[in-house]
Amino acid sequence: MRAPLRRYAVPARTRRASCLVFAVSLLCLAAVAGPMLLASTPPQGPPGFAERWKAAVALWHEGLRARGIVGSSLLLMHQGRVVARETSGLADLDAKRPVDERTIYHWASITKTVTGIAVMQLRDRGRLSLDDPVVKYLPELRAVHDPFGDISQITIRHAMSHSAGFRGPTWPWGGDRPWHPHEPSRWEQVVAMFPYTEVLFPPGSRYSYSNLAIVFLGRIIEQLSGDDYEVYVDKNVFKPLGMHRAYFDRAPYHLRPHLSTSYYREDGALAPARPDVDTGITVANGGMNAPFDDMARYLAFLAGEPGRADYEGVLKRASLEEMWQPQVKMTGAEQADADSPTAYAMGLCFFRERVAGLDLVAHSGSQNGFISHFFLHAPSRTAYLVAFNTTVTTTVRPGEVREDTRALDAELRDHIVANVFPLLAGK
């Protein structure tokens, strides 16, 4: 039988000292754990910043209202710290649950940037070369029809820069019935289609967005690491960056109350999308889900901070910046020096864009009703992130559809980069 616990009186001076030590410990922990995730109210910044941010937020709110977008979140970062954040609308329309700081969004193709980081980790550890043929690791690709030469000419670098010549969709058949899987669930299903797959242009000759190519990268990560893709990324990216609420595909039970429902609004009619889907074999393309706090940690890592050993442990800064170097020109590259917004080049799983005279690193996501985007001005370590839980489209005329959520995304980009970024970037 245990002896009863004794109560001891603690002198007031000792209690005060203990509290002080505890408070200092919390501050030290926050300094090493990641970006400060609580926005200032009002936002703090250089002179004129609060007014310009207020104007951007007003534009955002009005755009959400005018287009009938159910819910959205917006976040601005500078030098690894959140300087402003906003939420609007509902995470779930039926439950009348508002969007808040814990709301979890589906990040779709932004996942591709994480996949690229995983590939670079393996490269830095000597497991592969970016100029290795994809077929070296996936011999099943020999069954693909390549009218331009040997399939071994297609490299990992081509796959990362969307210049390999593979088709856009992973699975161009089916999906038009409610009972169809969201995406192919097994590698064998993709392999079965290789004899009916062809390379569409000489590798490296031009840019053409390809989800299929990123599926191949995910498979290579699994082959070389011995882990499922989701396990590898969780161990080597999410956990080291403190992204403890980030996950792939269907949500764990404890996070389900924070999921945002997603919606499609077509010609004014609103309908929910498929909730909480399994992205199957395409998980390396777009299976990532996370709240804004975890995505802020990811953006802080991308922005970098001199001397951060934990960031270097995930990926060397030189390797990360290597991913941002243009690999292949995109449509509109000849306008890269103009002030009009244009994506001018593809790096290694990151886009390069020029907006209002600033050179940016970016990626967007669009899947299952969710649309998202981030933009990073690397020299000033300034970035913003936006997510919408509603894809809105309007039929302008037969055969022509206007993408309204995308239009708001672009309008917000133009405004923030032209009016807010220069203040933080010292321009």
The CA distances from residue 38 to 78, 85, 86, 150, 192, in Å, are 13, 8, 11, 53, 49
CA–CA dist 149, 146 (Å, integer):
6
Sequence ranges of the domains in the chain: 37-425
pLDDT mean over 238-246: 98
Out of 35-44, 176-185, 319-328, 367-376, pick the least confident.
Answer: 35-44
Vertex 82, ends 276 and 354: CA angle to 5°?
85
Instruction: For 317-364, write each residue's pLDDT tens digit.
Output: 999 999 999 999 986 544 444 444 468 999 999 999 999 999 999 999
pLDDT of residue 255: 97
34 close to 311: Cβ distance less than 8 angstroms? no
pLDDT of residue 172: 75
pLDDT mean over 11-20: 43
Q: What CATH code would you report for 37-425? A: 3.40.710.10
Phi, psi of 38 (to 5 degrees): -100, 120
Tell me: pLDDT of 6 over 80: no
Instruction: For 392-402, write each residue's pLDDT tens digit.
Output: 999 999 989 99
pLDDT mean over 39-49: 65
Tell me: pLDDT of 253 over 60: yes
Average pLDDT, the chain: 88
Torsion of CA 207, 212, 213, 219, to 10 degrees: 170
Question: With 0-12 CB in 10 A as exposed, 13-18 as middle and 19+ as buried, what is 196?
Answer: exposed
- Max CA-CA distance within the chain? 84
CA–CA dist 224, 222 (Å, integer):
6
Q: How confident is the model at residue 56 (pLDDT cuts 50, 70, 90)?
A: very high
Cα-to-chain-centroid distance, residue 267: 28
pTM of the model: 0.88
pLDDT of residue 276: 85
- Does 9 or 322 have the greater pLDDT score? 322
Q: What DSSP character marks residue 146?
A: -
pLDDT mean over 283-312: 96
pLDDT of residue 427: 61
Instruction: For 124-163, write each residue's pLDDT tens digit.
Output: 999 999 999 999 999 999 999 999 999 999 999 999 999 9
